[in-house]
Homo-oligomer: A and B are copies of this chain.
Amino acid sequence: MSQTVAQVTGDLYAEVQTFYARQMRRTDALDIEGFADTFTEDGEVTHADGGRTRGRAEMIAAMRTRLPRYRDVSTQHWFGQLLIEPMNDGSLEISYYTLVAQTGESGLSLQPAYTVRDVLVREPDGRLLTRSRSIRRSTPAQR
């Protein structure tokens, strides 16, 4: 087991977790523009069904069409088992498990589990932004 991946500092770990806690509060509050602002201008999202959006404007339009699905339910995006890999170009490759919990009139339901891979980049002013996100529905490990 060769472990060549650099050790992640506590400060970076806290910063990345905080970045996601803010980003997900915007998603879960259906603050679509606020959510898009946590991506780079050319930010890209590849969804589990293969659909892809490129750039904030396209992302906002796609989210608007999905809004009706979130009417009458409250949504929480949970993240787990976060892994941070600092790249040579200064970007961060992140992967994490995600579960979406929805509370509606009939109680709580959980969506199928996903694994997500993000690339985060640091803006000149120091903020982190998501440059790309790839969402993959978890599939059996054994073929």
Contacts and interface: CB of A to CB of B under 8 A. Distances in A.
A19 B143 CA distance: 26
Given A8-B14, A10-B13, A14-B8, A81 B74 contact: no
Contact of A141 (B7, B9, B10, B30): B30
Majority SS at the chain A contact face: mixed
B103 A138 contact: yes
A113 B76 contact: yes
A127 interface: yes
Contacts of A103: 112-113, 137-138
Interface string A90-120: 0000000101010100011011110100000
A46 B37 CA distance: 33
Contacts of A10: 9-14
Contact of A25 (B77, B79, B81, B112): B81
A28 interface: yes
Given A76-B113, A107-B112, A82 B141 contact: no
Interface of A: 1, 3, 7-15, 17-18, 20-22, 24-25, 28-31, 34, 37-38, 67, 70-84, 97, 99, 101, 103, 107-108, 110-113, 115, 127, 137-142
